Amino acid sequence: MATLKEKIGYGFGDMSSSMFWKIFSYYLPIFYSNIYGLTLEDTALLLLVTRVWDAVSDPMMGIIADRTHTRWGKYRPYLLWVALPFAICGVLLFTTPDVGQTGKLVWAYITYILMMTVYTGINVPYGAMLGVMTDDSDTKTVFSSYRMFFAYSGSFIALFAWEPLCNCFREHTGSQPASWQYAMIVVAFISMLGFLLSFTMTRERIKSVSTVSIGKDFRSLLSNTPWWILIGAALCSNLFNTVRGATAAYFFKDYIGDGMFLNLGDLSILFYAGLFLGVGEVANMVGVVLTVPLSRRLGKKSTYISTMVALAFLSILFFYLPLSPLGLWLMLIMQVIISVCTGIVSPLIWSMYADVSDYAELRDGTASTGLIFSSSSMAQKFGGAFGGAAVMWILATFGYNTEMGAVQTPEALTGLNLLMSWIPAAVAILAVTVVYFYPLTKDKVAEIDKQLKVIRKDQQE
């Protein structure tokens, strides 16, 4: 029986990953284009090309983790081994070297590829742990919900504090690039501690052993229809989040203004990208809480489809909100509702991957949990890559000007609004179409769980 301590400990791991991932997804594009000094086109290509390596490194890490055997388990020790390199690489990523334009571009490629390699080295084993911490499908959803609750908590801390941290360090250093580096040092230290806590507080219960060749693992994976469908679903859901998130900093800087005040009686609050995104992370946590009861009642597939339909509708409405005090409040309210929905989707995806892993083990006799979960990380990174690159390309298409203090054209402002509304809506509709064909229904998963328990019991005896 999984303890509360283990559930909290598992959550600390994704809190750490998410603090980094949200900063990368939402602030790294504007850092590269407006602070570091790359063009929109160079930034787009950088965000895309660096993820090609991820397509190779994620499955490789999954295979390595599946065949790791230590006294701590197969996947858990990587939280201990990689925590410090993870933090160091994050700081290097936000370091601006005093070199020419070509040198800065080379540095950006090296540090970003290095960061994503280390991210793979810790995040793939962390995700695979879900498949060996319990053999109960509903408990996996509970673990996944704790994971996402803590993930959104970490994201809220990072996003809400990022701009104030940068502003604080800029006042002390007088340098905008240095202020971003120092802010990242703070985030990196907290993330490292989170991974170490996750290692300390969790354990692996299921002793799965991969007894087949790597080639058979890959053949099993490539013939796994539910896996292919979930790859599409994960790609779409992360693409949806990244497009809106990566656009937010530009949207507030140019469409709304660097910061506007919202009046709440006698209180005025500064409305800025970090607040908008941070409020969304809190709303995500509400969605995570709703995931377990909704998925138990409707099934994971139906819950996913219903939620993505709602996201498409809400995103379209966002386009028509006026740029006025009332419109700003409506934007914030809409962000809350949209984020509740995305908070429901995220733990569902991870829990469904655990079901796909069980399906593969029953059908092919291959305990390739790490390989299967690495595909989810791969889809997440591709979603982030395509989302971040797409934002850069679309902004360039609409004539967005990255020069300091530039006034944007009406066409560029329209592009920003589309990136927050109709474009994510189209991605949500695509996700619904993909998951419609997902075959692992609630009854099918229950039958798989029942058969696997018998098989695993016989293997242990």
Mean of pLDDT values over 356-385: 70
pLDDT at res. 368: 61
pLDDT tens-digit map of 375-427: 666 766 677 777 878 888 999 999 988 776 777 889 999 999 999 999 999 99
Residue predicted with more confidence, 230 or 215: 230
pLDDT at res. 217: 67
- Give the pLDDT band (50/70/90) at residue 220: low
* C-alpha to C-alpha distance for 321 and 153, rounded to whole angstroms: 28
Q: Is the confidence at residue 12, as pLDDT, over 90?
A: yes
Write down the residue that tokens 């407006």 correspond to. 34
pLDDT at res. 459: 59
Three-class SS of the chain: CCCHHHHHHHHHHHHHHHHHHHHHHHHHHHHHHHHHCCCHHHHHHHHHHHHHHHHHHHHHHHHHHHCCCECCECCCHHHHHHHHHHHHHHHHHCCCCCCCHHHHHHHHHHHHHHHHHHHHHHHHHHHHCHHHHCCCHHHHHHHHHHHHHHHHHHHHHHHHHHHHHHHHHHHHHCCHHHHHHHHHHHHHHHHHHHHHHHHHHCCCCCCCCCCCCHHHHHHHHHCCHHHHHHHHHHHHHHHHHHHHHHHHHHHHHHHHCCCEEEEECCEEEEECHHHHHHHHHHHHHHHHHHHHHHHHHHCHHHHHHHHHHHHHHHHHHHHCCCCCHHHHHHHHHHHHHHHHHHHHHHHHHHHHHHHHHHHHHHHHCCCCHHHHHHHHHHHHHHHHHHHHHHHHHHHHHCCCCCCCCCCCCHHHHHHHHHHCCHHHHHHHHHHHHHHCCCCCCHHHHHHHHHHHHHHHHHHHC
pLDDT at res. 240: 92
Mean of pLDDT values over 171-200: 95
pLDDT at res. 434: 92
237-269: buried (b, 16+ CB within 10 Å) or exposed (e) per residue? bbbbbbbbbbbbbbbbbbbbeeeeeeeeeeeee
Contact 274, 332 (CB under 8 A): no
Q: Is the confidence at residue 204, as pLDDT, over 50?
A: yes
Torsion over CA: 285, 288, 293, 294 (sign): positive
- Residue 86 token pair: 């993870």
What percent of the chain is modeled with pLDDT above 70? 87
- Give the pLDDT band (50/70/90) at residue 455: confident
Worst-scoring range by mean pLDDT, 50-64, 104-118, 168-182, 433-447?
Answer: 50-64
pLDDT tens-digit map of 339-356: 999 989 888 887 788 788
pLDDT at res. 288: 82
Mean of pLDDT values over 68-95: 95
Q: Is the confidence at residue 250, as pLDDT, over 90?
A: no
Q: Is the confidence at residue 30, as pLDDT, over 70?
A: yes
Instruction: Name residues whose C-beta falls within 8 Å of residue 398's C-beta, 6 or more positions apart in sequence.
Output: 409, 411, 412, 414, 415, 416
Sketch the domain layout of the chain as residue ranges. Answer: 8-201+209-455
What percent of the chain is modeled with pLDDT above 90? 36
CATH 1.20.1250.20 fits 8-201+209-455, yes or no: yes
Task: Determine how many CB atoms are found less than 10 A away from the CB of residue 404.
Answer: 7
Q: Is the confidence at residue 269, as pLDDT, over 60?
A: no
pLDDT tens-digit map of 159-172: 888 988 998 999 98
Mean of pLDDT values over 360-373: 68
Partnered with residue 264 across adjacent β-strands are: 267
Q: Is the confidence at residue 79, as pLDDT, over 90?
A: yes
- Residue 184 token pair: 């990242």
pLDDT tens-digit map of 286-330: 898 898 889 888 888 889 999 999 999 999 999 999 888 788 889
- Give the pLDDT band (50/70/90) at residue 276: confident
Q: Is the confidence at residue 211, as pLDDT, over 60?
A: no
Q: Is the confidence at residue 206, as pLDDT, over 50?
A: yes
Instruction: Name residues whose C-beta falls within 8 Å of residue 290's C-beta, 6 or more positions apart in sequence.
Output: 340, 343, 344
**Residue 227 φ/ψ region, left for φ over 0, alpha for ψ in the -120 to 50 degree band, beta for the rest:** alpha
Residue type at 413 in one-letter notation = L
Q: Is the confidence at residue 267, as pLDDT, over 50?
A: no
Q: Within a 13 Å sphere around the CA of 143, how many CA atoms are in the beta-carbon half?
A: 32
* C-alpha to C-alpha distance for 409 and 245, rounded to whole angstroms: 22
What is the overall mean pLDDT for the chain? 85
- Residue 40 token pair: 């929109």
Q: Is the confidence at residue 225, as pLDDT, over 70?
A: yes
pLDDT at res. 86: 97
Partnered with residue 261 across adjacent β-strands are: 270
Burial class (CB in 10 A: 0-12, 13-18, 19+), 447: exposed
CA of residue 388 relative to chain centroid, distance? 13
Among candidates 132, 137, 131, which has minimal Cα distance to 205? 132
pLDDT at res. 88: 97
